[in-house]
Structure 1
């Protein structure tokens, strides 16, 4: 009985299994009709139901090239009445030359009468080569895009001087007074009416602007051409009409670059690394030197101080000031002041540099993306440093947040020796720093004058500095110019006048060594101080109090006087 019932069941199971393995038979009912458009023609094609666009192309004998495509895509399942389009895509590259029009720049010139114009530099168009990629679909151009741009020739800006002469009283000047106006460099020489442009590129950023000791060269920085470079360092010959410019192949300078006093055509500098975050850089706190020649040759760099952390708030950077002997370099950073002994061998590739900290400073907590670094200058005798110290608050509290700053002097007897010890031949002997003037404000920027002969035959100097109108808010306070004798006596406020807007923080500049002036001749040229006030150059005489405005365009932002 069991066997009788199992036979039909077993047969049915085997039949179903075999039937499932048999290929389907294509009939008229399993075909679908689709419309295929390719290469300008459209046809109806019958294909098995369940086929994809790729199957359709195979059936039609069509092959897609690398850029070709289908609409819809090749993996799409087709249904009755589907429409498929084959798009033939080609590309070609073409090169076109285009003209880059030159810019027009206007430079105000106070040596020309008002309204008079003079062409300083004719404009020249540039040339650019652009490679385009052109894409065609079924022979019709659908897109054009540039893929490569090569500048064959940079455009040269047209520069036109426009006279803006103002009726300021002419003043005789010793040396050369250089200044930046509207991104261009100017020189006054002989007297304030004799002025001329020396750099007219319009891109000087004022980070570095230094005349050489003999006044024949100008060291300056120009804004970088892209976001990866803050600026670049250049030297220009300014004692003739050659217009010689030397690219020193140095980039990213914020705090310091200056001529090496003991060498001809040699420059010392410190660099930073650009950053996207505020303040826009990370200081290297290094010191390097480079030499150059009038032929354009630039030496490889000499490293005097390797990149380092720079102490507390070292990310901001460090500033330097040369001693009169040119062999020592004072430095100031947020946490202190010191001296680098750069004897002649110390400036060479294999030499050593000796670091002597002389004044510890409690760094100021600015609560911002900047750090305070004290101003720093040498006495003309080379035996005293003048700076600003961060003082404690009389009422106690956090030293780092104290709003008090004192003008301070550090006396150096002799010179710095390698061992830092006292010797009869001359070495360092530091006195206790003296707070000459309390509560000056953080941006006092003290600067001693050149030596002046006294009736007794001795020589003396004065000290100029800026006094904050609101000493406990000196980061934002206006300032006034003050001059005193080197012992701190005979202190007098000179500029601006009482009740007038104050000065912005800056380094005042003394005239170079007096030319025939001394205490018996109070009109001597060497007693002039130069300042920038409301965007213009001003002179203030330290003995007579005489004040002279030199420019009126309101565009001055940096100066130097040698």
Structure 2
């Protein structure tokens, strides 16, 4: 027998196992050690046994991650002129390797863990391009997502500022706080056990400092709670290798944090549950304007959440749509500014492919169709000011209502009761809008609705329908305005 260049010799009866020989010679094996032949082998005459001592060693090294250069087209600069918006900074990673040694010699080397010590900061250069876009004064804070980064427009459409430049915003969550001072967003995860992570950034701080809320796997819902200070609610999923890539928990958490980013409270207010029919896809929620009542929508129903009892109370049952794919249809829900109605697209019991825009009255508990044949992605957005008259509701109208899953849409407008319906944008015969959630301007003089059209930000004046193109780079994916 050989053990790390030491030799042993012993006589044993034929039929003895390797393990018995080791015990007779008082030789022990480590957790990773092995023998050739294996310990369960029955020996013949003149057998030879070799012990391979296996050792696991971990080593770390720091690696510089070069920063990327991002070129951003800007119509407010003269054509060809460049301006450095943000200097680049290299990142730093610590890589831990697992080395496997057999009798002192390395036989395998694999990456065990990668930790980011400092994330790279991309260099952002604005390049002037010729554009017919004329600068426009804008109220409040308008944010948009382009190229994986978040940008802020304030006071004038030519005044654009980068606020998050990591290049990895996934667009699943991208929403401003009610006062327009904070942005809540998600970033793609670099690890295999998480889909994304949830972050916030203070838009009034210079320079903006993103804050990691230490929350992962938020796909369908995260939103600010009206009437509270720096408080959000969110729902999570569990990552899966099979499509769609997750299993929804249909849960709900309430998280509060300080202006400095310290987590004050993170409590679960709805336990993980099946979520009804097609519940694996997920549930979405919406707070009433005063923050007192929470509505929910899932593939089989729309209703309210009883937070005290932690139960879902359906107010309207939907005919779950058989999509034939790895996704489920969950209707968008939106509260009227006075909190008396919930607007949502609904489908027919007799024909699940037929969709109407409906209003649920919380006083009478009745669901009424206000616009027929809108398509599944009607995405209603009521005017936010309860004192405005009339009380407009913006929504999307499918160009091909019977094929609304693949159809493009047009921006439409109606009074809260479904009267005075009109199509606003784009004009008849133009390519329609991709399904999206329009946004209202925070000011009613004039009143604008913002939409993304062919990758650019467009504003539509209400009720005239006059339009203004704000950007022309074709890269915008999400917008919000407060």
Both structures adopt the same fold (TM-score exceeding 0.5)? yes
Structure 2 Cα separation of the partners of residues 383 and 545 of structure 1? 27
1:244 aligns with 2:178: no
Give the aligned partner of residue 535 of structure 1.
Answer: 455
Distance 1:127 1:320 in 2: 38
Unpaired runs of at least 5, structure 2: 6-13, 19-26
Aligned partner of 2:328 among 340, 354, 371: 371
Partner of 2:195: 230
Match of 1:547 in 2: 467
The aligned counterpart of 1:445 is 379
Per the TM alignment, residue 512 of structure 1 is displaced from its structure 2 partner at its CA by 1.3
Q: Provide the C-alpha distance between the structure 1 equivalents of 2:116 and 2:128, rounded to a whole number of angstroms.
A: 37
- How much does 1:212 deviate? 0.6
Residue 472 of structure 1: SS of its match in structure 2? helix
Q: 50, 58, 67: which one pairs with 1:103? A: 67
Which secondary structure state, in structure 1, belongs to the residue aligned with residue 402 of structure 2?
helix
The 5 A counterparts of 1:356-367 are 356-367=313-324
The aligned counterpart of 1:429 is: 364
Choose the corresponding residue for 2:404, options 466, 474, 481. Answer: 474
Q: Distance in 2 between matches of 1:149 and 1:318?
A: 34
1:390 equivalenced with 2:355 (yes/no): no
Residues 153-197 of structure 1 deviation map (CA, whole Å, 9 limit, x = unaligned): 345243222324453111221211111111111111112111111
1:88 to partner: Cα distance: 9.6
Structure 1 residues 437 and 123: alpha-carbon distance in aligned structure 2, compared to 1, 3 A threshold = same
Kept after mapping to 2: 8 A contact 1:304/1:352 = no
How far apart are residue 95 of structure 1 and its match?
Answer: 4.5
Distance 2:49 2:237 in 1: 59
Q: Report the TM-score, using the length of structure 2 for normalisation.
A: 0.84
The answer to which structure has the higher helix fraction is 1
Q: 2:124 aligns with which of 160, 173, 195?
A: 160
Map 1:129-528 onto structure 2 (within 5 A).
130-131=96-97, 133=99, 143=107, 145-146=109-110, 151=115, 153-167=117-131, 168-340=133-305, 351-352=308-309, 355-392=312-349, 399=350, 402-412=352-362, 428-430=363-365, 432-451=366-385, 459-514=389-444, 517=445, 524=446, 526=447, 528=448
Residue by residue over 1:86-111, the C-alpha shift from the partner in whole angstroms, topping out at 9 and shown as x without a partner, is 99989796856353332314141525
Q: How many residues align?
A: 467
- Compare 366-375 and 259-268 and name the one that shifted more: 366-375
Q: Does the 8 Å contact 2:338/2:386 carry over to 1?
A: no
- 2-side partners of 1:501 and 1:188: how far apart? 27
Deviation at residue 357 of structure 1 after TM alignment: 2.6
Q: Could you say what secondary structure the match of 2:443 adopts?
A: coil
Please list, as runs of the form range in 1=range in 2, the aligned pairs for 1:27-46 lying within 5 A after superposition.
none
Runs of 4+ residues deviating >6 angstroms? 64-71, 73-79, 84-92
CA displacement at 1:503 relative to structure 2: 0.9
Spell out, residue by residue over 1:186-232, the C-alpha distance to the aligned partner (whole angstroms, 9 max, x if none). Answer: 11111211111111111111111111111111111111221211111
The DSSP-based 3-state class of the residue aligned with 1:501 is coil
Partner of 1:118: 84
Q: Matches of 1:100 and 1:70 in 2, distance apart?
A: 43
The 2-side partners of 1:315 and 1:149 are apart by 31
For residues 538 and 473 of structure 1, the distance between their equivalents in structure 2, rounded to whole angstroms, comes to 26
Q: Is the 8 A contact 2:319 2:347 kept in 1?
A: yes
SS of the residue corresponding to residue 301 of structure 1 reads strand
CA distance in 2, matches of 1:90, 1:490: 79
TM-score by length of 1: 0.73
Name whichever of 172-181 and 544-553 sits farther off: 544-553
Unaligned runs of 5+ in 1: 1-38, 41-49, 55-63, 393-398, 413-427, 518-523
Higher deviation after alignment, 354-363 or 477-486: 354-363
Change (3 A) 1:68 1:481: closer
Deviations 1:16-50 (A, max 9, x none): xxxxxxxxxxxxxxxxxxxxxxx99xxxxxxxxx9
* Cα displacement (A) at 1:530: 0.6
3-state secondary structure, aligned to 2:304 = strand
Further displaced range: 148-157 or 543-552: 148-157
Do 2:64 and 2:90's aligned partners in 1 also have CA atoms closer than 8 Å? no
**Whole-angstrom CA distance in 2 between matches of 1:207 and 1:276:** 19
